[in-house]
Amino acid sequence: VTQVRGVTPDRVVGVGALVVAVLAPFLFSSYWIGSLLTQMLFLGIVAASLIFLSAYGGMVSLAQVAIYGIAGFVYGNLVTNGNTKGLNLGWSPWVGIMVGIAIAVAIAVLFGALANRSAGIYFLMITLTYSVIANLFFGQVTDLSGFGGISGIRAPSAIGSVEAHQNRLYYVALVTAVVIYALIRYVVRTPFGLTLQGVRDDPVRMSSLGYNVALHRTLAFAFAGFVAAVGGLLFVWWNGHIDPASIDLSATIDVLVIAVIGGLYRLEGAWLGAFVFVVINNYFQRIDFSWGSWISQERFHTLIGIVFLLIVLVSPSGLIGLWERAVSFLSGPRRGPHDRKPVEVQTAEPSV
């Protein structure tokens, strides 16, 4: 097969997906735009923050949804007015965006600083406690939320009413997703990003070379916190409401499922996984099929659990892994196996 330099199957598919995404409002129904694709974009952003940490830092974090929720709750408390619970400050949305991201990143720094001497599954366990505690915190603290949560959250007036202008929020989410994608791709190529990958592969050696392993992990976590916070703002604009159930264990695991279905070691997997997730979520509820009380329209999470289990058992590198295997199979042995190394799923010892 003759190939033009620089044209790889990955790039063809990537550019094709981007073109479809840009033209989507002309191709799909407004239901798809308003419900499915916008949701896919912001869920993909949160999953991308997780994949960034796991693929380049060796840290599988379950705190991303907590941080996304913190940004959403802060924004909701600052900009709304007239909720029974919450601060009801009624500030400008732009201030809400700034403060929401700032507080979310500050908390990410704290979280990261406390967990930075761990990696792998230790990190998973520690961040899971953050996630559950954040959920309980917003459930209990009625000054900020309480179980009912915060309603009537509006996007900045430039976006306007989300119901009336579905395409606007969609395009904002699309541009944000592309910018976040490019930003992460850039960050991992900077000296910081390269050092982070060194820390992922061999923390002891990096440490003896004089690099501050803990600091790099904390900074990576803070950056991922920023990405997750951006996703959280898009979520509250889209949903107009946030409550503790938006960040409960099930929501936390949903984002992990998205990342794993897509593939834990490639950024593109975030949006691929999110797409599969929202489509299954949406269409499964319409299928008129049941098998006793075990499988029916309402048992969406059973199905997601089974899909998740199959992916983990069959292809730990997710759908992207399947795609890569297919590409290298079709292009024959001349191209050789992909030199990209999957994220280490084996060792995760606590380090120095």
- Does position 257 interact with another protein (CB under 8 A)? The reply is yes
Residue 271: alpha-carbon gap to chain centroid: 8
Q: What string marks each residue from 203 to 242 as x (binds another protein by CB under 8 A) or -?
A: ----xxxx--------------------------------
Which tokens is 96 given? 């809400």
- Among 49, 118, 166, 315, contact with another protein (rule: CB under 8 A): 118
- Does position 56 interact with another protein (CB under 8 A)? The reply is no
What number of chain residues touch another protein (CB under 8 A)?
54
**CA quadruple 289, 293, 295, 296: dihedral positive or negative?**
positive
Angle, helices 191-201 vs 38-57, to 10°: value is 70
- Does position 289 interact with another protein (CB under 8 A)? The reply is no
Considering beta carbons, is residue 146 or 231 the nearer one to another protein?
146
d(CA 62, CA 128): 5
Do 297 and 270 touch, CB atoms closer than 8 A?
Answer: no
Which segment (30-38, 93-101, 127-135, 182-190) binds another protein by CB under 8 A?
127-135
- Among 26, 289, 291, 294, contact with another protein (rule: CB under 8 A): 294
Write the CB contacts of 160 (distance below 8 Å, at least 6 apart in sequence).
168
- Scan residues 169-208 and list those touching another protein (CB under 8 A): 207-208
Minimum separation from the CB atom of position 173 to another protein (A): 27
- Among 27, 89, 194, 306, contact with another protein (rule: CB under 8 A): 306
Write the CB contacts of 249 (distance below 8 Å, at least 6 apart in sequence).
131, 132, 135
- Does position 84 interact with another protein (CB under 8 A)? The reply is no
**Torsion angle of the four alpha carbons 290, 291, 296, 299, in this order, in degrees rounded to the nearest 10:** -170
- Does position 301 interact with another protein (CB under 8 A)? The reply is yes
Considering beta carbons, is residue 54 or 166 the nearer one to another protein?
54
